[in-house]
Amino acid sequence: MSSADIYREIILDYYRNPRNYGKLTNPDIAQRDSNPLCGDELEMHLNIKDNNVVDVKFTGKGCAISQASASMLTELIMGKSFEDVKKLSKEDILDNLGLHDLGPARIKCALLSLKVLKSGLYSYLSEKLQDAASADKIKEEASGLY
């Protein structure tokens, strides 16, 4: 897709004015990851209560795609049930961003946020909920993202 289609007003807006930017104190989930190829960094914090995402924040540095993607993802999952968040797919993220047909290098930027989220859910499922089966499933999904 062309740059004019990628760098739309909304992507630039989320890049320059990220929603839910910051950290939570004592979050239930805290997950950090980076893309070794380009050095993009992302950390997500979530609080879970009664099986719902009650608060979510992120910090990071990187390109417009990775940062806008993370910010938009936080809005997408805020208030959602834990079950719905677990089900989020690659397509959901790209739909939400309005970015399709990204090349192999740039799709990693768009999906870093989902990768961080899924890795965070993995730790939460395996350590706090002791749900090994769901944890393994989500770990596999995370590693299969790119």
Partner 1 sequence: MINIENIRNDFPILKRKVHKDKALVYFDNAATTQKPIQVIDAISNYYLNYNSNIHRAVHELAEEATIAYETTRDKIAKFVNVKNREEIIFVRGTTEAINLVAYAWGRQNVNKDDIIITTEYEHHSNIVPWQLLTKEKGARLEYIGVDDNGELLLDQLDKYLETGRVKLVTFSQMSNVLGTITDSEEIIRRCKKKGAKVLVDGAQSVPHLKVDLQKLDCDFFAFSAHKMLGPTGVGVLWARKELLENMVPFNGGGDMIREVHKYETTWNDLPYKFEAGTPNIADVIGFSAAIDYLEKIGMDKVREHEIEITKYALDKISEIKGIKLYGPMDTAKRGGVISFNLGDIHPHDLATIIDEDGVAIRSGHHCAQVLMERLDVSATSRASFYIYNTKDEVDVFVKSLYRAKELFRL
Judge contact between 114 and 90, C-beta under 8 A. yes
Which of the stretches 5-13, 24-32, 114-122, 127-135 binds partner 1 when contact is defined by CB under 8 A? 5-13
Tokens encoding 111 = 């999906």
Q: Which stretch binds partner 1 (CB under 8 A): 32-40, 70-78, 110-118, 123-131?
A: 32-40
**Of residues 41-100, which lie at the interface with partner 1 (CB under 8 A)?**
41, 61-65
Binding of residue 133 to partner 1 (CB under 8 A): no
DSSP readout, 57-97? EEEEE--HHHHHHHHHHHHHHTT-BHHHHHH--HHHHHHHH
**Interacting residues with partner 1 (CB under 8 A):** 2-4, 6-7, 12, 16, 37-41, 61-65, 106, 109
